[in-house]
Structure 1
Amino acid sequence: MASFTLHGIPVSRGIAIGRAHLLTPAALDVKHYLVAEERVEAEVRRLQDAIAEVHRGLQALWTDLPKDAPTELGAFIDVHALILSDPMISEAPLDIIRGRHYNAEWALVTQIDELSAQFDEIEDPYLRERKADIQQVAERVLKVLMGSAQLAPAPLSEEEYQPQMIVVAHDISPADMLQFRDRSFIGFVTDVGGQNSHTAIVARSLDIPAAVGMSQASQLIEQDDWVVIDGDAGVVITNPSALVLEQYRERQAAQIRARKKLQKLKKTPAITRDGTQVALMANIELPDDCPGALEAGAEGVGLFRSEFLFMGRTGHAQKIPGEDEQFEQYRKAVLAMKGRPVTIRTLDIGADKPLDPTEHNALNPALGLRAIRYCLAEPQLFLTQLRAILRASAYGKVRILIPMLAHAFEIDQSLAMIEQAKAQLREAGHKYDPAVQVGAMIEIPAAALSLPMFVKRMNFLSIGTNDLIQYTLAIDRVDYEVAHLYDPLHPAVLQLIAMTISAGHKAGIDVAVCGEMAGDIKLTRLLLGMGLREFSMHPAQLLSVKQEILNSELARLTLQTRKILRSTEPAAIAEAVEQLQAI
């Protein structure tokens, strides 16, 4: 096996070493987990039972065919029955379950993908088209299997088996990424994506090494190839030599030791050398992230991305969680944080986080009906979420954060709807915190340039640097072809951030950064020098940022940062930011 290196975009730090597992779009629709040795035969039987049920269904279809039905219909059913009986479908996936310990759905999709690839190479167009028949038969079996999912053996625990698999795919949506939270995989490689696509953000939140924008990775890397991800450099090495493998194992061990050393800072307050306290908060996607946030020493949740409660659902009726379901999730997070503040961002869908990826998207979704625009266009959905958040505020300190505001009327409409939600709760006899704080995300240049209308109406501000950079520089942060233009140190971006922090201080309201810049240790001192006193990031980044804060001297940082903000030359800014690390 030849060794080769691919260069892409680093999105999640660390080193992962393992076997490649290629995922096709079809494979993303099923659950992936490993079953224990003693459960393997039960999983084999589950697949056999599903195949038998589909056989019975096809037989019933054939029996119930009307007498005047076209003969092609009967022939079509016969073909599907023959495909289902073929050992490549009825036996090969069973061997995968026994050999690789994959769950039944995963084993079937793996086999179908291999067969589909073989059919793609057939020259005869008629035979090549039979691939669709095989996929349709597999879909029937998968539907039966998914219906029996509650009977499936439980996934292996981390103690039972330590997996060493790396996902390689053309793309993985944020919702699909959440499937892998059980740590079945140790790294991610995708052909597309950018440094701050939401897929990259979720990879960082899972604290798993990842590299995106690899272009042809899913076509060049083969199933079970040895893969090394250098998450710091955005490099993927396939089938490395023994020497290269050893070097990366040593680096991996050194990183693990460094992380253990950081653990000693968990209970240390984030105070600069000259005595200024800084608040370090956590970004979360789901309530289950709260224990990890507390474990990392977070002082609260600075950003709860509520849209992840809405994603990964199938069927129209299941797309939107109801008020009670949302309330239970928000309350779970509030209780888990044990009195610490929880900032819940209202639904922010659109762009690379569509509610339903199968629905028609706008020509430019990043500039379309997303975030607060979507919520104001769907007032009942918005009111449902607001009531759920407000009800959770009866159980601890909750703050509401509104994304993508740019106009005064959007702020006023949002505040009016919060008041309407409160009135509805009073009428229904539900408790809530009447003094719940409401804040605005500053992520559109228009917002950063019209801050007086925000500070007059809002209790706090939170800078979403990911979108602020995207909109300021007019680049799609998901598009790997322009990802190199994404620059947090662009002078225009720095000016907008500094203006926002300054305006908040003058108005006496809190300003946080909850975008990816908050968790980048190369930028910690720059943000401190701008006056930032609240950082919100993924729990995995928190201790590294805390270490930077503990080693910083604000007086000197402030002086140097003023000089940086006066500069417009990219090279001079980059050099000056690097020099901040030595202060």
Structure 2
Amino acid sequence: MPFTLHGLAVSQGIAIGHVHLVSHALLEVSHYQVAPRRLADEVARLAAAVDMVRADLGELKTTADQQPGHAEVGALVDLHLMFLDDPMLIDAARQLIEARRCNAEWALVQQMELLVEQFDQIEDAYLRERKADVVQLVERLVKVLLGHPGRLPKKRKSDLATIVVAHDLSPADTIGFRDHAIAGFVTDVGGPTSHTAIVARSQGIPAVVALHNVRHLVHDNELIIIDGTRGVVIIDPDDRIVEEYTLRQTELALVQSKLQRLKDTRATTLDGEEVKLLANIELPKDALAAKAVGADGVGLFRTEFLFLSRDALPDEDEQFEAYRRVLKKMGDAPVTIRTLDVGADKALDSIGKRSTEANPALGMRAIRYSLSEPKVFLTQLRALLRASHYGKLKILLPMLAHAHEMDQSLALIAQAKVQLIERKQKFDPRVEVGGMIEVPAAALSLGMFIRRLQFLSIGTNDLIQYALAIDRTDEAVAHLYDPLHPAVLKLIGGTIQTGLRYGVPVSVCGEMAGDVAYTRLLLGMGLRQFSMQATQMLSVKQEILRADLVDLAPKVQRILKMDEQERVHEAVERLRS
């Protein structure tokens, strides 16, 4: 019988498909006694499951090694293979089968729970978090033992696709999904700026998050429907409901088809104001998607995805090649590359240091980290400068808050230039340097930025988080994350207006830029450069083409003077009517 769950809609669209559980629900296994004469068979069953998982991991490792930018997958696989060889897991489970005469899956889960308890006692935060890898590995083994290994199906032409259902999805979880028939994402936790949400939007995949207990309410291969616009998930729909949502899918596909006609149309308002639409990318190959929708350039290349989950840092030549590939693909269009932004939810494994900070979001991250590791920073800066010889590159510094951070960064850029001159390596000496405005201190002290930098980029995801004192990855407070809070709008509007006043270009590269609900608001504030996921660009362009700035500007100025959130929401909604 169909039933409906309600969560947060974070990526629009309709998805109809079968459930693929990537969660721990299957770890609630049955416990039964095995007859003494069958103990050898039970041990053999465990060994066969280990062999199958080892083969699957080896295949995944080979695939990852052959694909540029997938080093983090290889590192994750290596970690799982290491746990697979750990006697504290498999050997101990085998001994438990023989001693307790129990079934293999129950023995594995018992040993896993023991290991998880031991991980919880570790003081080092990074090592403590590795318990999740043990759980994921045991889940793989249990799925094999239960007769459904859980491999993601290959793309199919006629059959219904797969909907991934999980407690949460990490960057490593989502890397390989592009090669499979993934129709949508559903998770227990998350918010509008969680990794699952951002990945879903970047791939144009419907997603609903913050459903709390969805993984306990569905089964592998069960038919479900995601409405990524309304935040609704329908479990076990009947034929009538499937027919209704299939019709909606067709209507949405028609809308998307019409949007494709705008690819080569300049983003110009009704009163003739031209707007630049730039793309956010994470890997060099993402530049192709940016070109496919007619992006005016790359407004944010997140370089940290070249560094994450690997045993060794990418050297200067590897980084140079990655940056050069993007610049070559984009031709004469500008490419803004952000320097390493690690820390908080993006741990860097290869340095050998592990965070023990109580609140990493307020600790050693982004530019603070880079300045604390000048050799790492200089290596990246040299790679960036070398790549500048092949296109219009701009360097973006993340999470700036102090004048000395800018001064030190600019001094290191100058040092990198001297080193390249000594090597006789070519670079563009006129490379522009800009700064991210993503902490309130930066938005409230723009003078020191204007005097030192050539452009600014507003990172709304972190700016909202820090302005409202909300951890955007914490589901308990996700409902308080509000881009339309009056204080947030004053910080964004003030930054844009200051840039206009002093002739310093300002863009918005956070998730607000790609949400059509805020397009007219940002236009009315004076924003003329939007940077977003490629999948969002044509919808935003359509909104710009329908906007009249002469009418919008005075309305937005009145909104910026409001101090009640409810009134702000109502006024922003009226901008689109």
TM-score, normalised by the number of residues in structure 2: 0.80
Tell me which residue corresponds to 1:4.
3
2:331 equivalent to 1:338? yes
Q: Residue deviations 1:312-341, cap 9 Å, x none?
A: 43xx33xx2111111111111111111111
Moved more, 181-190 or 165-174: 181-190
Could you tell me which amino acid in structure 1 is paired with residue 48 of structure 2?
S
Q: Residue deviations 1:285-329, cap 9 Å, x none?
A: 11111111111110000000111111243xx33xx2111111111
- 1:461 is paired with a residue whose SS is strand
Matches within 5 A, 1:308-323: 308-313=305-310, 316-317=311-312, 320-323=313-316
Q: Is the 8 A contact 2:13 2:252 kept in 1?
A: yes
Matches within 5 A, 1:482-521: 482-521=477-516
Instruction: Report the Cα distance in structure 2 between the residues aligned to 1:200 and 1:522, rounded to whole angstroms.
Output: 16
Tell me which residue corresponds to 1:195.
192
Instruction: Report the Cα distance in structure 2 between the residues aligned to 1:81 and 1:363, rounded to whole angstroms.
Output: 48
Q: Residue deviations 1:227-275, cap 9 Å, x none?
A: 2111112221111122222111111111110000001111110011111
* Counterparts in 2 of 1:431 and 1:26: CA distance versus 1, 3 Å: farther
Instruction: Report the Cα distance in structure 2 between the residues aligned to 1:331 and 1:25, rounded to whole angstroms.
Output: 41
Matches within 5 A, 1:434-473: 434-473=429-468
Instruction: Report the Cα distance in structure 2 between the residues aligned to 1:361 and 1:458, rounded to whole angstroms.
Output: 33
2:290 equivalent to 1:293? yes
Q: Is the 8 A contact 1:345 1:403 kept in 2?
A: yes
Instruction: Report the Cα distance in structure 1 between the residues aligned to 2:555 and 2:380, rounded to whole angstroms.
Output: 44
Instruction: Report the Cα distance in structure 2 between the residues aligned to 1:4 and 1:469, rounded to whole angstroms.
Output: 35
2:24 equivalent to 1:21? no
Tell me which residue corresponds to 1:366.
361
Q: Residue deviations 1:348-395, cap 9 Å, x none?
A: 112222224995552211111111111111111111111111111010
Q: Is the 8 A contact 1:262 1:544 kept in 2?
A: yes
Instruction: Report the Cα distance in structure 1 between the residues aligned to 2:553 and 2:443, rounded to whole angstroms.
Output: 21
Following superposition, the deviation at residue 25 of structure 1 comes to: 7.3
* Counterparts in 2 of 1:260 and 1:82: CA distance versus 1, 3 Å: same
Could you tell me which amino acid in structure 1 is paired with residue 473 of structure 2?
V
Tell me which residue corresponds to 1:568.
563
Q: How many residues align?
A: 498
Match of 1:164 among 161, 164, 187: 161
Tell me which residue corresponds to 1:270.
267
Q: Is the 8 A contact 2:153 2:180 kept in 1?
A: no
- 1:204 is paired with a residue whose SS is helix
Tell me which residue corresponds to 1:204.
201
Tell me which residue corresponds to 2:340.
347
Moved more, 444-453 or 233-242: 233-242
Q: Residue deviations 1:79-122, cap 9 Å, x none?
A: 99976622x65389979x9xxx999779x99xx9xx9xx99xx9
* Counterparts in 2 of 1:538 and 1:166: CA distance versus 1, 3 Å: same
Following superposition, the deviation at residue 219 of structure 1 comes to: 2.1
Tell me which residue corresponds to 1:474.
469
Tell me which residue corresponds to 2:221.
224
Instruction: Report the Cα distance in structure 2 between the residues aligned to 1:82 and 1:219, rounded to whole angstroms.
Output: 31
Q: Is the 8 A contact 1:437 1:459 kept in 2?
A: yes
Tell me which residue corresponds to 1:76.
none
Instruction: Report the Cα distance in structure 1 between the residues aligned to 2:298 and 2:218, rounded to whole angstroms.
Output: 39
Q: Residue deviations 1:14-60, cap 9 Å, x none?
A: 11111111114799xxxxxxxxxxxxxxxxxxxxxxxxxxxxxxxxx
Following superposition, the deviation at residue 126 of structure 1 comes to: 8.6
Instruction: Report the Cα distance in structure 2 between the residues aligned to 1:80 and 1:401, rounded to whole angstroms.
Output: 61
- 1:259 is paired with a residue whose SS is helix
Following superposition, the deviation at residue 403 of structure 1 comes to: 0.7
- 1:186 is paired with a residue whose SS is strand
Could you tell me which amino acid in structure 2 is paired with residue 222 of structure 1?
H
- 1:427 is paired with a residue whose SS is helix
* Counterparts in 2 of 1:395 and 1:247: CA distance versus 1, 3 Å: same
Unaligned runs of 5+ in 2: 27-37, 62-76, 85-89, 116-133, 142-151
Following superposition, the deviation at residue 342 of structure 1 comes to: 0.5
Instruction: Report the Cα distance in structure 2 between the residues aligned to 1:206 and 1:384, rounded to whole angstroms.
Output: 31
Could you tell me which amino acid in structure 2 is paired with residue 470 of structure 1?
Q
Q: Is the 8 A contact 1:197 1:352 kept in 2?
A: no
Instruction: Report the Cα distance in structure 1 between the residues aligned to 2:314 and 2:184, rounded to whole angstroms.
Output: 30
2:44 equivalent to 1:85? yes
Q: Is the 8 A contact 1:175 1:311 kept in 2?
A: no
Q: Is the 8 A contact 2:316 2:383 kept in 1?
A: yes
* Counterparts in 2 of 1:507 and 1:257: CA distance versus 1, 3 Å: same
Instruction: Report the Cα distance in structure 2 between the residues aligned to 1:229 and 1:93, rounded to whole angstroms.
Output: 36
Q: Pairwise CA RMSD of aligned residues?
A: 3.4
- 1:546 is paired with a residue whose SS is helix
Could you tell me which amino acid in structure 2 is paired with residue 16 of structure 1?
A
* Counterparts in 2 of 1:94 and 1:409: CA distance versus 1, 3 Å: closer
* Counterparts in 2 of 1:170 and 1:157: CA distance versus 1, 3 Å: closer
Match of 2:380 among 380, 385, 402: 385
Tell me which residue corresponds to 2:549.
554
Tell me which residue corresponds to 2:401.
406
Could you tell me which amino acid in structure 2 is paired with residue 193 of structure 1?
G
2:157 equivalent to 1:185? no
Q: Residue deviations 1:193-244, cap 9 Å, x none?
A: 1111233212211111111112112222211111211111222111112222
Moved more, 439-448 or 181-190: 181-190
Q: Is the 8 A contact 2:465 2:472 kept in 1?
A: yes
Following superposition, the deviation at residue 130 of structure 1 comes to: 4.8
Q: Is the 8 A contact 1:285 1:305 kept in 2?
A: yes
Could you tell me which amino acid in structure 1 is paired with residue 266 of structure 2?
P
* Counterparts in 2 of 1:409 and 1:17: CA distance versus 1, 3 Å: same
* Counterparts in 2 of 1:375 and 1:125: CA distance versus 1, 3 Å: farther
Instruction: Report the Cα distance in structure 2 between the residues aligned to 1:421 and 1:386, rounded to whole angstroms.
Output: 6
Could you tell me which amino acid in structure 1 is paired with residue 575 of structure 2?
L
Instruction: Report the Cα distance in structure 2 between the residues aligned to 1:254 and 1:197, rounded to whole angstroms.
Output: 28
2:480 equivalent to 1:522? no
Instruction: Report the Cα distance in structure 2 between the residues aligned to 1:491 and 1:199, rounded to whole angstroms.
Output: 27
- 2:299 is paired with a residue whose SS is strand
TM-score, normalised by the number of residues in structure 1: 0.79
Instruction: Report the Cα distance in structure 2 between the residues aligned to 1:362 and 1:191, rounded to whole angstroms.
Output: 26
- 2:531 is paired with a residue whose SS is strand
Question: Percent same amino acid among aligned pairs?
Answer: 54
Instruction: Report the Cα distance in structure 1 between the residues aligned to 2:321 and 2:397, rounded to whole angstroms.
Output: 21
2:498 equivalent to 1:539? no
- 1:453 is paired with a residue whose SS is helix
Could you tell me which amino acid in structure 1 is paired with residue 345 of structure 2?
D
Q: Is the 8 A contact 1:188 1:211 kept in 2?
A: yes
Q: Is the 8 A contact 1:80 1:133 kept in 2?
A: no
Following superposition, the deviation at residue 181 of structure 1 comes to: 2.1
Instruction: Report the Cα distance in structure 2 between the residues aligned to 1:125 and 1:436, rounded to whole angstroms.
Output: 68
* Counterparts in 2 of 1:322 and 1:412: CA distance versus 1, 3 Å: same
Instruction: Report the Cα distance in structure 2 between the residues aligned to 1:443 and 1:206, rounded to whole angstroms.
Output: 25
Tell me which residue corresponds to 1:581.
576
Following superposition, the deviation at residue 170 of structure 1 comes to: 1.2
Q: Is the 8 A contact 1:198 1:352 kept in 2?
A: no
Could you tell me which amino acid in structure 1 is paired with residue 381 of structure 2?
L
- 2:182 is paired with a residue whose SS is coil
* Counterparts in 2 of 1:105 and 1:327: CA distance versus 1, 3 Å: closer
Could you tell me which amino acid in structure 2 is paired with residue 177 of structure 1?
T
Q: Is the 8 A contact 1:176 1:312 kept in 2?
A: no
* Counterparts in 2 of 1:82 and 1:561: CA distance versus 1, 3 Å: same
